[in-house]
Amino acid sequence: MKEKPIGIFDSGIGGLTVVKEIRRFLPREDIVYFGDIARAPYGSKSENLVVKYSEEALSFLLKKDVKLVIVACNTSASVSISSLKRIFPNIIDVIDPVIDEAIKLAKKAIGVIGTKRTILSGIYEKKIKEKKNGIEIFSKACPLFVPLIEEGWIDNPITKAICGEYLYGFIEKIDVLILGCTHYPLIEKTIKEVIGNEIVLVNSSQATVSAVKSFLNENGLLNPGGGKTMFWTSDEPGDFKKLGSLFLQTPIYENVKRIEM
Amino acid sequence: MKEKPIGIFDSGIGGLTVVKEIRRFLPREDIVYFGDIARAPYGSKSENLVVKYSEEALSFLLKKDVKLVIVACNTSASVSISSLKRIFPNIIDVIDPVIDEAIKLAKKAIGVIGTKRTILSGIYEKKIKEKKNGIEIFSKACPLFVPLIEEGWIDNPITKAICGEYLYGFIEKIDVLILGCTHYPLIEKTIKEVIGNEIVLVNSSQATVSAVKSFLNENGLLNPGGGKTMFWTSDEPGDFKKLGSLFLQTPIYENVKRIEM
């Protein structure tokens, strides 16, 4: 069981920021990553459709005999997690861990940014209130961040201006800001420049990998000697490799395989 | 045959700019519109996948017994038109008509802007060269325009700055600019402010509807007395209605139906 890989899925390549953190903090784990590029982005799709796609992604990973599945897509985690847990219990998503960290840090109020679908789902508000009633939450959809990042406009004055447009008006109310999308760590520096030093940024990829480490440790599932990553995508492997390197911050030397969904 | 509807498909709602022009210039035609929202955007998908999706969309419209199909998605037109014409000959796309108009107007060189997939396909260069060899063509992918428009940032200084970022560097070389994406007419005013009065903008939705009018006229297919529009989408009708109104510049009073793709 220990030697089995960790499965990760995302609608695209954003979940690779989680792979990056696993390689850093759990370098002996094998990983099977599935990016559903053919049907990305999930963020603009309806709830029913996102649940259907997520169940299909889970089913693919289970065929790869994984010991644990990370739902690295906020949109998917925000609407499909209970359906997925009915199919397979060992699931960690990118929402719960970051919420736990935000609650620990917040003294005033928590802000959340994410895709349109994630924010409309209200999942962060709901979960934060369940865990700590009484804390104030402000949320804001930032639908331009994903295309800006995929355009590679990381250190760009326009990206900074768009951050400002989205974030002014609610940053003075909060002291912790959750990056509720696995793409956003790539513009963390720009976001920090806009919100200043008074607000703590919490990053879902890092928080998720801490939760994964605890889970594997508590259940005696830490792999003593792996370290490989297998990449799968539902569209062209070439595009996945090129854009994926940006998120991993290292080239993808591995073979990227295609699976029709 | 005359009374049959015109079929239109697009990956999403951009093709509604074509519907708007049909209602204006051919108000007696019935229209069946299909927006493949569940699998949008096509612009970031591989060529094979776009061809498959386009064939499925065509097959859906043929079941609605249409007399003519307009491929209102530039990405689809740029890669799938020859496959589609093998299935059904009465097809007009949004590329050929706008190219004919641009060639008529250009004295110096033609510029083309569109999604990443459309520009990478090189279809505009190829077709322009086939029709008028020797004319210079400059093209530029503008992947942020679609999300900006869908965010509703139409009259916005940030949109203007992004236009500048994309267009400076090649506008001084051209005298005609093709809007190679059915979303772009919505920011035509902003693009005009950036490129100035020396460059003529040609808009694919308008050029396409002129071509449709000529085709129906020449083949004795003008409908003497219709005027209804039927909307179909592969995802939530509610979202389609809301965003669609922006493109039609009038509310959608009709029932929008859903079809699983």
- SS3 sequence, A4-39? CCEEEEECCCCCHHHHHHHHHHCCCCCEEEEECHHH
In angstroms, rounded to a whole number, what is the distance separating the alpha carbons of residues A23 and A147? 26
Q: How many CB atoms are located within 10 Å of the residue A213 CB? A: 16
Quote the pLDDT of residue B106: 96
- Averaged pLDDT, A77-85: 93
Q: Find, in chain B, the residue whose alpha carbon is nearest to that of A243.
A: B44
Residues 33-52 of B with CB under 8 A from A: 37-40, 44-46, 49
Nearest to B99 by CA among B72, B51, B132: B132
Task: Indicate the SS3 state at residue A87.
Answer: helix
Cβ contacts of B45 on chain A, cutoff 8 Å: 37-38, 235
Task: Indicate the SS3 state at residue B167.
Answer: helix
A164: contact with B, CB 8 A cutoff: no
Backbone angles phi, psi at B112, to 5 degrees: -130, 130
Average pLDDT, chain A: 94
In angstroms, rounded to a whole number, what is the distance separating the alpha carbons of residues A181 and A195? 17
Nearest to A162 by CA among B246, B114, B157, B164: B157
Banded pLDDT at A154 (limits 50, 70, 90): very high
Task: State yes or no: is A163 an active-site residue.
Answer: no
Quote the pLDDT of residue B208: 96
- Averaged pLDDT, A27-53: 91
Task: State yes or no: is B163 an active-site residue.
Answer: no
A46 vs A219, residue with greater confidence? A219
Which tokens hold the place of A182? 């696995």
Tell me the percentage of chain B whose pLDDT exceeds 90.
81
Banded pLDDT at B27 (limits 50, 70, 90): very high
- Quick check: A161 and B161 CB within 8 A? yes
Cβ(A196)–Cβ(A189) below 8 Å: no
- Averaged pLDDT, A61-87: 95
Task: Indicate the SS3 state at residue A122.
Answer: coil
Quote the pLDDT of residue A20: 96
Banded pLDDT at B45 (limits 50, 70, 90): confident
The DSSP line for A25-83 is H-TT--EEEEE-GGG--GGGS-HHHHHHHHHHHHHHHHHTT-SEEEE--HHHHHHHHHH
- Quick check: B235 and A45 CB within 8 A? yes
Banded pLDDT at A159 (limits 50, 70, 90): very high
Q: Find, in chain A, the residue whose alpha carbon is nearest to that of B243.
A: A44
pLDDT tens by residue, A161-200: 999 999 998 899 999 999 998 899 999 999 999 999 999 9
Which tokens hold the place of B224? 């003497």
Quote the pLDDT of residue A121: 84
Domains of chain B: 6-93+206-258 (3.40.50.1860), 96-204 (3.40.50.1860)
| ∠ Cα B109 B120 B176 (to 5°) | 20
- Averaged pLDDT, B66-84: 93
- Quick check: B143 and A158 CB within 8 A? no
- Averaged pLDDT, B208-214: 97
B58 CB-contact burial (10 Å; exposed 0-12 / middle 13-18 / buried 19+):
buried
pTM: 0.84
Which is the catalytic residue, given A58, A73, A171, A187?
Answer: A73
Quote the pLDDT of residue B162: 97
Cβ contacts of B259 on chain A, cutoff 8 Å: none
Tell me the percentage of chain B whose pLDDT exceeds 70.
100
